[in-house]
């Protein structure tokens, strides 16, 4: 039995320790935001955060995650109270097919949690590992810039940012 802390909650998982996190999230924990894209850690649709860093969940075995903090899109906000990143992506209409968007949001969240005022070059460099085949890259970049503004505003007012209430 392995204990995984996902979005602030502990979950007992009875999977083979070599099982990639993506499968456990989707199949056992019913968290379906992270998507299976390539299965090789090359497209980013499976991106989640572990201890504040963006990782490819399709190639990360759960045995490497015990005692670490995992965050998925489901942990950024709710339908009624979307977090800054989710709001920004909706307002910029950054999704076309939407398949890559959860991974894009999580990669961007990891950047903004460590760099509250990224330059355009910082954003582009950080996001380059995640692919969008629909062509919404410009809207995705705009959404990341907007989310950065929202998160700076929230920090300035003392509100928590990007957390599930």
**Mean pLDDT over residues 18-38, rounded?**
97
The answer to whether residues 96 and 37 belong to one domain is no
The answer to whether residues 96 and 130 belong to one domain is yes
Specify if 162 maps to a domain: no
- Residue with structure tokens 């959404």? 143
Could you tell me which residues come within 8 angstroms of residue 61 by beta carbon, excluding any fewer than 6 positions away? 17, 18, 19, 20, 21
pLDDT of residue 93: 96
In this structure, the number of other CB atoms found within 10 A of the CB of residue 90 comes to: 13
pLDDT of residue 67: 93
pLDDT of residue 157: 61
pLDDT of residue 20: 98
Domain count across the chain: 2
Rounded CA separation 48/46 (Å): 7
The answer to whether residues 19 and 54 belong to one domain is yes
Q: Provide the whole-model pTM.
A: 0.91
Specify if 137 maps to a domain: yes
Residue-range definition of the domain harbouring residue 50: 2-75
Q: Is residue 161 pLDDT above 90, yes or no?
A: no
CATH number at residue 137: 1.10.150.120
Q: Is residue 155 pLDDT above 90, yes or no?
A: no
The answer to whether residues 146 and 90 belong to one domain is yes
Last residue of a domain, one of 75, 99, 115: 75
Q: Which residue has the higher pLDDT, 71 or 155?
A: 71
Rounded CA separation 89/144 (Å): 8
Burial grade of 140 (CB within 10 A; 0-12, 13-18, 19 or more) = buried
Rounded CA separation 146/136 (Å): 15
CATH number at residue 52: 3.10.20.30
Last residue of a domain, one of 75, 101, 117: 75
Last residue of a domain, one of 19, 50, 75: 75
pLDDT of residue 19: 98
Q: Percent of the chain beyond pLDDT 90?
A: 88
Could you tell me which residues come within 8 angstroms of residue 103 by beta carbon, excluding any fewer than 6 positions away? 34, 35, 37, 43, 44, 45, 46, 47, 130
The answer to whether residues 71 and 118 belong to one domain is no
The answer to whether residues 55 and 94 belong to one domain is no
The answer to whether residues 71 and 94 belong to one domain is no
């Amino acid at each position: 039995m392995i204990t995984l802390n996902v979005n602030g909650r502990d979950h007992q998982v009875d999977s083979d320790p070599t099982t990639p996190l993506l499968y456990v999230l989707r199949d056992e924990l019913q968290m379906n935001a992270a998507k299976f894209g390539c299965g090789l850690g090359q497209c980013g649709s499976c991106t989640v955060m572990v201890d504040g860093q963006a990782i490819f969940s399709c190639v990360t075995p759960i045995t490497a995650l015990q005692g670490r903090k995992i965050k998925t899109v489901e942990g950024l906000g709710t339908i009624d109270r979307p977090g800054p990143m989710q709001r920004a992506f909706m307002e910029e209409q950054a999704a076309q097919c939407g398949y890559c968007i959860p991974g894009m949001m999580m990669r961007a969240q990891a950047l903004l949690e460590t760099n509250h005022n990224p330059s355009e070059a910082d954003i582009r460099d950080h996001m380059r590992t995640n692919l969008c085949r629909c062509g919404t890259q410009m809207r995705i970049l705009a959404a990341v810039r907007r989310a950065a503004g929202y998160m700076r505003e929230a920090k300035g007012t003392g509100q928590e940012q990007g957390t599930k209430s």
